[in-house]
Chain A
Amino acid sequence: MKEAVHISGVPSPGPDLQELLVRVARGDQDAFASVYDAVSGPVLGLVRSVLRDPAQSEEVAQEVLVEVWRTAPRFQAARGSAMNWVLTLAHHRAVDRVRSAEAAAAREHKAALLDRTPAFDEVSEQVETRLEREQVRRCMRTLSELQRESVTLAYYRGLTYREVSELLSVPLGTIKTRLRDGLIRLRDCLGVSA
């Protein structure tokens, strides 16, 4: 047993949302309303970029937001930011919906899929969203075309890397690598640390 020594540490980023989630975890409905206001826009936007259909998107967004309430006690700040946790949840739910719907219905035409671009151009009155959008768009431009297409189809369309490979007629190994090095380039451009 040693003398206790000082360990320097900095508070984790985004303490507000994180603190709110801690209160939500204790059943605080007012705190949840604040969490809702902070995350519902990104959640709905992300779900809609994957699903497109407005009614279905709202339904899935509602499921995700209720799941945030239900599973807030399981959120662990040591494992990532609160917003990251919520958006990962939203992406998973949206993609699950796409994949189950695809299993049942006929696949959309390839050209239609390739044609769709993310809803960057949609109007949003929130300044921080506009800034975020600008920054992501700028960083997306630093990617090679194949990197950008692969990341976009996987993230905004919810395709598996196998589907991306098929759609773009590029070998599987190449797509895997492009998804990784594309994201790494975006990470560096956006200055993401975790």
Chain B
Amino acid sequence: MSTAELHTLTGAYALHALPESEQRPFEEHLEDCEACAQEVRELSATAARLGLAVAETPPRELRERVLREITTVRQEAPAHGRRERTGGRGRTGRWYAYALAACVAAAAAFGGVAVWQNQLAQDARQEANQAQRQNEQLAQVLSAPDAKTSSGELTGGARGTVVVSQSQNRAVFLASGMAPPPSGKVYQIWFNDEGTMRSAGLMDPKASDDAVLLDGPVDRASGMGITVEPAGGSVEPTSDPVALMDFPTA
């Protein structure tokens, strides 16, 4: 299926109307196409409105049953940053270039960037695979022939280093000695797209020396910032940045 055809599947995907066999290839396409991801996000929010419109009053017993059941159900561990995202870059360069080209074309049509919220709870095995794949991606950026680095002091004596690979269109942020975020808060990383902040994922609050693969492509971002956000992160920064760094220039 061509990427143009893939792109028309945003509606079917948002309605969960893709057969299982077509879901995966489309999700991989989404990984690389922020404009498609944004469209899916909007169409999915639209679909949710169709759901709200058929709300009905549940029987009281259902409430009792659910509230009783949750006392016996263990909650999952939180997902940090992009670790729960599906897909990966274990594909051929040709596919990647192809998807990117489609993305640029689609971006012209739709504009805006965002990350598709992956609603599906992942099973443990899949998650382990993803963590591994993410580590691989991270290593790929760090070892890319065109990887460029810039470092800076952060607040409180911490140091930050950002590594950008233009060919892979990805960036990695390495922190050393960062103070843990205040209780109930997280550090959220943002791409700086000419003054507009685009979420690049959350940092693991437990790790003060963390290497984070920034969520999403670098594209035209000229730098990155870090803000303190409520747990779960925010759509846009809600506080002043604790750090701002320029990306190394080519």
Contact = CB atoms under 8 A, between A and B. Distances in A.
B42 A182 contact: no
A43 to B, nearest CB: 8
Contacts of A74: 76, 78-79, 84, 121
A76 interface: yes
Interface string A168-190: 00000101111111111011001
B73 A190 contact: no
Given A36-B67, A78-B199, A160-B18, A7 B84 contact: no
A170 B51 CA distance: 26
Interface string A140-169: 000000000001001110111110100000
If over half of A's interface residues share one DSSP class (helix, strand or loop), that class is named, otherwise mixed; here it is helix
Interface string B8-33: 11111011111100000000000000
- Find the residue from A3, A46, A162 having the highest chain B CB count within 10 A: A46
Interface residues of B, number: 86
B28 to A, nearest CB: 18
A51 interface: no
B214 interface: no
Given A22-B231, A81-B45, A69 B58 contact: no
Contacts of A81: 45, 48
B11 to A, nearest CB: 3
A132 B53 contact: yes
B75 A27 contact: yes
B149 to A, nearest CB: 14
A181 B9 CA distance: 11
Contacts of B45: 80-81, 84, 187, 192-194
A45 to B, nearest CB: 4
A114 to B, nearest CB: 16
30 contacts: A4-B244, A5-B241, A10-B236, A29-B71, A36-B63, A41-B55, A42-B55, A46-B54, A61-B58, A66-B70, A70-B70, A70-B121, A79-B41, A80-B44, A80-B119, A87-B52, A88-B119, A92-B120, A124-B56, A125-B57, A132-B49, A132-B53, A136-B49, A137-B53, A159-B17, A161-B18, A183-B46, A187-B45, A190-B46, A194-B42
Given A32-B67, A135-B53, 8 more contacts: A44-B58, A49-B54, A78-B232, A80-B45, A133-B54, A136-B52, A160-B17, A177-B8
